Copies of this chain bind each other. A is one copy, B any other.
Amino acid sequence: MLGSVSQSSVGGAPDRKARREELINQVLTDFFSRTKERARPYGHQYVTLWQNIEANTTGGKRFRPQVLLAAYEALGGSDLISAANVGAAFELLHTALIVHDDVIDRDFVRRGQPNLAAMYRDRWQATGISKSDAEHRGMSVAVIAGDLALSFAYRLIDQSGVTGPTRDRLLELMDESLFASAAGELLDIDYTGSIKLPSVENVLSMARLKTAVYSFEGPLMAGAVLAGADENVISTLGEFGKEVGTAYQIRDDLLGVFGNTSETGKSNSNDLREGKGTVIVAHAAQSQLWEHIAPFLGRPDITEAQVTDLRDMLEKSGAKEFAESLLEKHTTRARELLSEPQIPESIRDEFQPFIATLTSRDR
């Protein structure tokens, strides 16, 4: 997931980011407040569900709305309220996708906390029904919650105050984001079940579809569309989003295995224990060391010493170096795109620091 993108990596001066965050939070607070009021006649359970959807939306880093607003402001946009509404729409899409993704992964934890399904599971388990029934009920409510969040992703654009062809274009971008994400999620389910390991290309294309389109390309292009930018600026920002999103994924894969946990705040053994299909593993599968690596991957019970061995073998196989050069390739391409003549200086000022974050080796 993309939740771990550092907020300081997007957009220029800290005060501008803080102002944007305040605006986004205000729009979301207003939205949830209106919607909880609307839910009231349907019963207290429904109000509680909306409180829980709000709780699952709050606490994130507002990454997607921040990206959208950064692009919008850099391109001269000044109707920040409308832009924050469209940004909030992408945040709700994110909520919908992670809530349903957790159902698909049978996951009850998100960011170290009980997720929406877990809140309901625990409540029902307290009534004495079986754990598996309580889990299923929790997941059932999560299905409903995701549907609501998805529905309101479109509705927030409808109600953003943006009209005419610009609104149509924003709805298309939202549609494209959901369409790609569903395709990526489907590929993910397929790979999880397959005996064949996905290739490096498969891993990257799946990650792009599943998260990069709606997290980078969609918000960047939406910000540009809202600002009334030229078509070639919109499409270049989309390509930039693709490169940056890919670079982000590769960096995430690298930190997940070779990261310094005290710096990243993230485990560097979970990906190995889960046997996650990363670019590193996909590359190592082609090496001669694979027969020594494969038996230890995806085994929750391996020791710290075995994890260290695994890490060494992945490095010796050339997989680490390969991933690093791939990361370099995509960040270079992202930098080149920002340097194209149609891209205004202000966009470079906003997004160069973000590329720099991706290439900094805090591992």
Contact = CB atoms under 8 A, between A and B. Distances in A.
A127 B193 contact: yes
B104 A42 contact: no
Interface in A186-205: 186-187, 189-190, 193
A-side interface size class: 35 or more
Contacts of A179: 38-39, 148, 151
A42 B143 contact: no
Contacts of A49: 186
Given A42-B209, A137-B189, A183-B39, A151 B129 contact: no
A51 B84 CA distance: 37
Counting chain B CB atoms within 10 Å of each CB, the highest count among A100, A141, A186 belongs to A186
A350 interface: no
A32 interface: no
B168 A158 contact: yes
A296 interface: no
A140 interface: yes
A193 B104 CA distance: 23
Contact of A178 (B38, B96, B147, B209): B147
A interface SS class: helix
Contacts of A178: 147-148, 151
B137 A155 contact: no
Interface in A22-66: 38-39, 42-43, 45-46, 49
Nearest to A178: B151
A11 B328 CA distance: 64
A206 to B, nearest CB: 10
A45 B186 contact: yes
Nearest to A97: B147
Given A43-B183, A141-B186, A146-B147, 9 more contacts: A39-B183, A45-B186, A45-B187, A45-B190, A100-B143, A100-B144, A148-B178, A148-B179, A148-B182
17 contacts: A38-B179, A39-B183, A42-B180, A43-B187, A45-B186, A46-B183, A46-B186, A104-B144, A127-B193, A129-B193, A137-B193, A140-B189, A141-B186, A148-B178, A151-B175, A154-B154, A154-B171
**4 nearest CB pairs, A to B:** A42-B183, A104-B140, A154-B154, A46-B183
